[in-house]
Structure 1
Amino acid sequence: MASDELYPPRRLADAQRATAAAGLDALLLTPGSDLRYLTGYDAHEGERLTCLVLPAQGEPTLIVPTLERPAAEASPAPATGVRIVDHADGTDPYPLLVAALGGPVAAVGLADRMWAEQVLALRAALPGAAQRLASEVLREMRLRKSPAEVAALAEAGAAIDAVHRRMGEWLRPGRTEAEVGADIAAAIRAAGHVSVDFVIVAAGPNGASPHHGTSGRPIGAGEPVVVDIGGTMPSGYRSDCTRTYVAGAPAPAEFVDYYAVLHAAQRAAVAAVRPGVTAEDVDAAAREPIAAAGFGAAFLHRTGHGIGLDGHEEPYVVAGNARPLEAGMAFSVEPGIYLAGRHGARIEDIVVCAPDGVQRLNTTPTELIAL
C-alpha cells in the first residue's frame, strides 16, 4: 500500500483547519500515534526532542535530533510537505520550536502522551500559551478510518488470524503458558508484524484474569485457555484477537454451558453494529444476554475499544457512551465471562462499522476450539 494512501498529505491541511476551528494556534506533537497519523513518521521516543510544529496557519515543521534526521527524511513525512529542522546534541531545541511557530501563540494543543519534562519545557518556552490536549482536534479525524486504514487493519486482522490458526502446533497439556506464549510471539512476527504488542495465554484459573499475561504454570488437560494476542504491522496499524481453546480432554460442563452464552452474546453484539446505533447499544447487546444468564457480575470490562495506530483508542464500546456509530469506526467486540479461581472465556473480533452494517476483520471461528 502506498504511503500517500495511508498517510495522505491533505491530512496536515485538514488538521490545520481543525486546529483553528478549536481555537488553538498550533499543535505540538512529540513521538506517538498522532505524529505518525499526520506525517507517517514512526519517530523514536527519547530524551532528545522530536516535535511536529503544526501552526493553524503557515508551514508545518518537524524538529528532530540531527542523528535522527536521516530516518525522518526516509519516512513519508517529506512527501506530506513538512519542513525538517534538526538540532545537534548539546543544543537547546526549544528556540527552534518557538521560531517554527512564526509568532506569539495564545493556546497550543500538546500530544496527549507527551513526556512531562517536555510539557514543562514548553511551559517555560511559551509562558503565555495555554496548554490543551491535541486530541481535542485529532480525535474526530482519527475516529473514522479511511478505506486505506480499513485495508491496513484488515491486513493486520488476517495476520493475527493466521497465528490463531496455528495454535494446535503449540498449545497442549503439560506445556507452560510461557512456553506457548514464546511460540506465539515468534509466529506473530513471522506472520508479518514488526512488533508483538501483547501475548496472553491464560489457562484454567488464570483465565479468570482478563489481563493475565503468561506464567510458568503448566496447562492442564481439559482446561479452558484464553489466548489474546496482537501486534503492530509495518503500516503502523494494529491487530488484536482473542479465542478460547481447550486441549487434551473435554472442557468442564459448566464452562461449556456459559461459553455458549458468551458465544451468542458476542455474535449478537457484532450483529448490532451499524451506523446510527450507539456505542452503548453495542455494549448492551453483549451484556444483556450474559446478565440474563446469571453471569452479569462476571463480565468485568467494557465490550470494546477502538483500534488503529493505537491498540486502544476511541470509540470505546461501553455503557454511558451515547455516541452514534459512523461508517469507518473500527473497534473490538470482546465480551468475556470470568469465574474467579475456576476459569474464564473471552471472544474478540475487530470490526468496522460499514455503510450498510458491519465488517468483521477477524474471520476465524468463534466457537470453543478443541485442539
Structure 2
Amino acid sequence: MSTPFPASVYAARLDRARALTADAGLDAIVVGPGPDLTYLAGVEGNTIERLTALVIPAAGDPTVVVPRMELAKVRDTAVGALGLAVADWVDGQDPYALVTAAMPEAPARLGVSDALPALHVIPLADRLGLRPELATPVLREGRMIKDAAEIAELRRAGEAIDAVHRRVPGLLRAGRTEREVGADIAAAIVEEGHRTVEFVIVASGPHGADPHHEVSDRVIHDGDIVVVDIGGAVPAGYNSDSTRTYAVGEPDPEVARRIAVLVRAQQAAVDAVRPGVTAEQVDAAARDVLAAEGLAEAFVHRTGHGIGVTTHEEPYIAPGNDLPLREGMAFSIEPGIYFPGAWGSRIEDIVVVTADGCVNLNTTPHALTPAGG
C-alpha cells in the first residue's frame, strides 16, 4: 500500500466522516479528488474529466467510483487495504448512475466536496433532482483536529523547514538576486527532507511590503530587510510553512525597533493559544501589541491559517472568527508589518493546540537575523 499511515487511521477517519454526515442531516456526501480524498483514503491526484468519487452514506458503507484505467492506482491506497467497495467504469458508461447506486434510495440532502467541479456536480444533481450542498462543514471538522500521526508529520515538516532557515543567512548576500537565492532555497527544501517545494518567497527591500511577493530579478543590496517565507510537503504529504526576516548588513535602527515589536506581537499570539480561546482572540493578541506601538495600519492580513495536507485550511486565525480552539488544531501564527515602497517583515511559526496551551513546531530565532553582507 502506498499510503503513509496504517489502514486503521483511514478507517477511523471514514467512520468519523460518516458520523459527521449523519450529524449534519445529510443522507450522503460525495468526495472528489483533492485534499479531502487524500485525507480520507490516501488517494492523491486532481479531478479530471473522468469521474473519481468517494461516496459516504450517512448509514452504510463507503463506495469508490473510479475509471477502470485508474483502478490499480486507487486499489494501491487505503481503498484496497480496507477492502472498500469499488465501482469501476469505462468510457461510454454512466458513472453518475454508479454514484447514485451507492447512496440511499431517493436522498433528500446530498453534500459534495468543494474540490468536485461543476463538470460532475451538475450531471449528478440533474440525475438526483436535487440541489447539492457543500460538504465542507463535515469535511473540515474532521481535518481540523489532527491525530497523533498527523502531528508527528507536521513536526517532521517543521524540523525540515527549520533546517532550511538555518541555511538562509549563508545564501543571502548583497549582489545576488532574489531569484538566485530562491533557487538555492528551493534546492535546500528538498535536500532537508521535503518531497515538494510548495512556495518560496524572497522579498527584499521594498518587495517585503508585498505579503505575496515571490521572487524577482531584483539585486539584493547592503542594508536590505528580506522576508523569507518558505514551505513544502514532506513524503507523507503534510506541509511546512515558516517565515523569518533577515537583515543584509546593518539595519536601520528604527526598522530594527519596529521588527522587535512585531516579534513581541507574534509571541503574544502564541502565548494566547489554548483550548476554549477563540481564533479571533488569538488574532487580537497580536494586533493589540502592534496597535499599542502605532503599527495597527501596517498589519494588513489575518494572523494565521490552518495547515495539514494543504498549506491553507481551517481554522483561520482572523478577526470575526469566533471558533473556539480545540486540542489538536494546527495553524500558523504570522503577523506582519508592511510599509509600501520601503520594507516589510513577517514572523511565522506553526503551532499545535495542546490540553493547556500549544506546542511550537518551529524553533529558529524570531529576532531580526543577520545575513551575509
TM-score bracket for the superposition, by shorter chain length = over 0.9
In the alignment, what sits opposite 2:90?
88
Partners of 1:211 and 1:366 lie apart in 2 by 20
**What amino acid is the match of 1:46?**
I
Deviation digits for residues 165-197 of structure 1 (CA, Å, limit 9, x no counterpart): 111332211111111111111221222222221
Q: Secondary structure at the match of 1:259?
A: helix
CA RMSD after TM alignment = 1.6
Q: Secondary structure at the match of 2:328?
A: coil
In the alignment, what sits opposite 2:66?
64
Deviation larger for 44-53 or 278-287: 44-53
Post-superposition offset of 1:5: 7.2
User: Is residue 45 of structure 2 the alignment partner of residue 26 of structure 1?
Assistant: no
Q: Is the 8 A contact 2:198 2:232 kept in 1?
A: yes
Deviation digits for residues 2-22 of structure 1 (CA, Å, limit 9, x no counterpart): 612784312212211221221
Partners of 2:7 and 2:151 lie apart in 1 by 11
Post-superposition offset of 1:299: 0.3
Post-superposition offset of 1:276: 1.7
Post-superposition offset of 1:70: 1.5
Structure 2, unpaired ranges of 5+: none
In the alignment, what sits opposite 2:141?
140
Post-superposition offset of 1:327: 0.9
In the alignment, what sits opposite 2:284?
284
Partners of 1:277 and 1:329 lie apart in 2 by 12
User: Is residue 236 of structure 2 the alignment partner of residue 235 of structure 1?
Assistant: yes
Within-5 A mapping of 1:188-207: 188-207=189-208
Partners of 2:339 and 2:245 lie apart in 1 by 14
Q: Is the 8 A contact 2:333 2:349 kept in 1?
A: yes
Identity %: 53
In the alignment, what sits opposite 1:337?
337
**What amino acid is the match of 2:316?**
Y
Deviation larger for 292-301 or 317-326: 317-326
Partners of 1:220 and 1:89 lie apart in 2 by 58
Within-5 A mapping of 1:156-175: 156-175=157-176
Post-superposition offset of 1:110: 0.4
Deviation digits for residues 90-145 of structure 1 (CA, Å, limit 9, x no counterpart): 43322221222252211111011221211212122222x33111112122222211
User: Is residue 269 of structure 2 the alignment partner of residue 273 of structure 1?
Assistant: no
Q: Secondary structure at the match of 2:282?
A: helix
Q: Is the 8 A contact 1:194 1:233 kept in 2?
A: yes
Partners of 2:209 and 2:173 lie apart in 1 by 19
Post-superposition offset of 1:31: 0.7
Partners of 1:307 and 1:35 lie apart in 2 by 16
Q: Is the 8 A contact 2:49 2:119 kept in 1?
A: no
Partners of 2:8 and 2:368 lie apart in 1 by 36
Partners of 1:194 and 1:85 lie apart in 2 by 32
Q: Is the 8 A contact 1:6 1:148 kept in 2?
A: no
Q: Is the 8 A contact 1:39 1:80 kept in 2?
A: no
Q: Secondary structure at the match of 2:322?
A: coil
Structure 1, unpaired ranges of 5+: none
Post-superposition offset of 1:298: 0.4
Post-superposition offset of 1:353: 0.9
Partners of 1:177 and 1:2 lie apart in 2 by 35
Q: Secondary structure at the match of 1:101?
A: coil
Partners of 2:8 and 2:186 lie apart in 1 by 26
Q: Is the 8 A contact 1:43 1:72 kept in 2?
A: no
**What amino acid is the match of 2:239?**
R
In the alignment, what sits opposite 1:130?
131
In the alignment, what sits opposite 2:18?
16
Q: Secondary structure at the match of 1:130?
A: coil
Partners of 1:76 and 1:37 lie apart in 2 by 10
TM-score computed with the length of structure 1 as normaliser: 0.95
Q: Is the 8 A contact 1:60 1:81 kept in 2?
A: no
User: Is residue 119 of structure 2 the alignment partner of residue 117 of structure 1?
Assistant: yes
Deviation larger for 85-94 or 144-153: 85-94
Post-superposition offset of 1:68: 1.6
TM-score computed with the length of structure 2 as normaliser: 0.95
Q: Secondary structure at the match of 2:189?
A: helix
